[in-house]
Each structure stands twice: as structure tokens, then as C-alpha cells.
């Protein structure tokens, strides 16, 4: 059995760890509120932009803009969003596992290039010598719109120049602090849904000025930026939610461990007292 001194040191160490995890939980909870509000607020705008794009694209062909032109997918670019820091449970592990499954699925006949947003994903795939195109570290430092615009511009340029045939994004969609779902979406080429005659009649009629082609040329790059910005906001909210949940669980586990160690310490102390009493009684009997 461990001595009282060792047990007391363990209790002190676990209690210090509990204070750290509790503080990290409170910080993540405060950041989660702002990140969740930003992610939820971005959804209606992105949905409305998609609806407008569908309305405009229903009146043009896929040759109207380079970002609409679908071709055989020989080179695929995957954009993976992870966090810069750990201590957030299985958040990064789930995303990396989904990315590796995507790469294995397309590794046979297609060439998969990876753009990594976040330190954890960059470190993981750098050690495995993946075909990395770009890496973005410190994703929370610049504003989300600036980083999204920078990434989006590079992705669109590579697609238009024929350096890649399709672009997919993999991020964690925020549902709640307890649920973050890895989500894979096709970013480029922008998909045009087939519109039936009935749906075409239900589409909202707009008056376009100057024209549909000019509006589409302005709208499509913006759609890409909005998709990237939304993915960043969802990923940020998911990271804070996962870290808050992980730190809450760690704090609870530390409390259970402190209780177990305290019980062990009390048993060791009682055994020590009993042993000392028996020695005193034995000595007194020997002196009679």
C-alpha cells in the first residue's frame, strides 16, 4: 500500500489538474457562445445565397462560367479543417479518420491533394508524407472572412487553371456542445441541380441588371467564399464545444479520483493508527 505522503502528493496533483480543466471548461464555454451565435447566424445567409444561385443557374448552362464546368475527376483537392490545439476529445481524431477514409477511397484511380487548415491536421499528414498543397496554421488569429477569402481564391484559381478537377471540404458541423458531425461537401465545381418544368415555374422571377451571365460571374466566387467562411465558423464552434465537453468530463473524473484517493488515504491512516496502538499495547503488556 502506498504511504500517506505519496497519496497526499497524488491528491494535490489531481486537484491542481482539476482546477486547470475547470478553468479551461469555463473559457471554452464563454468562447462557445460567441462562436455558436456566429455559426448559426451565417446559416440563413448561406442558404439564401444558395437559393439565389439555384434560381440564376437554372436559366443558364454549365458553360456559362468556369466554376460550373464539371469534368472527369482525375485530380481531387481535399480541404480539411482541424484545430490548432488539442484537449478537445475526439474532435480532431474523427476528422482525420474521415479524411484518411476519403483518401483511401479515391487513392486508386485518382490523385488526391490535401489543403490543411489547422495545426493538428497539418502535423498528422506531414508525418505521413501526404501530398500537401497548402497549410494554414493559427486559424483563429485572422478574421474568418479574410482567411476564407484567401483560401477560396487559391482554390478557385487552381480549379480554373485545370490544376484540380474537383474540390471537397471536410469540416465538423456544429449541432450542440455534445454533438459535432464530420461533414464532407463538394465545393467545386458548383453543382447545378436539374430543374423540372414544375420547379422552374415555382422559381422566383427576378429582373437582372445587367444580365444573368454577369450576375453569375459575380455570384459564384462569392458563393465559394461564403461556403469557406461557413465551414470555418462551424469548425470553430465545434472545437469550442468539443473542448468544453472534454474538460467537463476531465473535471468530473478528477473529482472521482480525488474521492478514491481520499478514501485510500483514510484507510492508510487508520491502518497506521491501529498499528501504533497495537505497538503501545504490546509494549505495555511486555513491561508488566
Q: Among 113, 140, 112, 134, which residue's Cα sits nearest to residue 122?
A: 134
Q: Among 133, 119, 77, 124, which residue's Cα sits nearest to residue 96?
A: 124
Planar angle of CA 251, 88, 233, nearest 5 degrees: 130
Q: Which residues, listed in sequence order, are joined to residue 112 by a DSSP beta bridge? A: 76
Cell 462562436 belongs to which residue?
A: 35
Alpha-carbon span 242 to 275, nearest angstrom = 49
Q: Do 183 and 173 touch, CB atoms closer than 8 A?
A: yes
Report the sign of the C-alpha dihedral through residues 31, 34, 124, 103, in that order: positive
Q: Do 237 and 38 touch, CB atoms closer than 8 A?
A: yes
- C-alpha dist (Å) from residue 199 to 204, 208, 220, 260: 10, 20, 22, 65
Annotated catalytic sites, by residue?
88
Q: Render 52-114 in DSSP notation, one character per residue.
A: HHHHHHTTS-GGGSGGG-----SEEEEEEE--SS--STTHHHHHHHHHHHHHHHHTTTSEEEE
What are the start-end ranges of the E strands in the chain? 75-81, 111-117, 132-136, 166-176, 179-188
Amino acid at each position: 500500500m502506498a504511504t500517506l505522503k505519496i497519496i497526499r502528493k497524488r491528491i494535490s496533483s489531481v486537484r491542481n489538474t482539476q482546477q486547470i480543466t475547470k478553468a479551461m471548461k469555463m473559457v471554452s464555454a464563454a468562447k462557445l457562445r460567441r462562436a455558436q451565435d456566429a455559426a448559426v447566424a451565417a446559416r440563413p445567409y448561406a442558404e439564401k445565397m444558395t437559393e439565389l444561385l439555384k434560381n440564376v443557374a437554372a436559366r443558364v448552362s454549365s458553360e456559362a462560367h468556369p466554376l460550373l464546368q464539371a469534368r472527369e475527376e482525375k485530380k481531387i483537392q481535399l480541404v480539411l479543417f482541424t484545430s490548432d490545439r488539442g484537449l478537445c476529445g475526439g474532435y480532431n481524431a474523427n476528422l482525420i479518420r474521415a479524411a484518411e477514409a476519403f483518401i483511401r477511397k479515391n487513392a486508386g484511380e485518382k490523385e488526391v491533394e490535401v489543403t490543411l487548415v489547422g495545426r493538428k491536421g497539418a502535423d498528422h499528414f506531414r508525418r505521413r508524407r501526404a501530398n500537401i498543397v497548402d497549410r494554414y496554421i493559427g486559424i483563429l488569429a485572422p478574421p474568418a472572412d479574410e482567411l476564407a477569402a484567401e483560401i477560396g481564391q487559391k482554390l478557385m484559381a487552381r480549379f480554373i487553371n485545370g490544376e484540380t478537377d474537383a474540390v471537397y471540404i471536410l469540416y465538423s458541423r456544429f449541432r450542440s456542445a455534445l454533438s459535432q458531425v464530420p461533414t464532407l461537401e463538394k465545393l467545386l465545381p458548383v453543382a447545378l441541380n436539374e430543374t423540372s418544368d414544375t420547379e422552374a415555374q415555382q422559381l422566383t422571377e427576378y429582373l437582372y441588371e445587367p444580365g444573368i451571365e454577369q450576375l453569375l460571374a459575380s455570384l459564384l466566387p462569392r458563393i465559394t467564399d461564403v461556403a469557406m467562411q461557413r465551414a470555418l465558423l462551424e469548425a470553430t464552434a465545434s472545437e469550442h464545444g468539443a473542448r468544453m465537453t472534454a474538460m467537463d468530463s476531465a473535471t468530473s473524473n478528477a473529482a472521482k479520483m480525488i474521492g478514491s484517493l481520499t478514501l485510500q488515504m483514510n484507510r492508510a491512516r487508520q491502518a497506521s493508527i491501529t498499528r501504533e496502538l497495537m505497538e503501545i499495547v504490546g509494549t505495555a503488556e511486555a513491561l508488566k
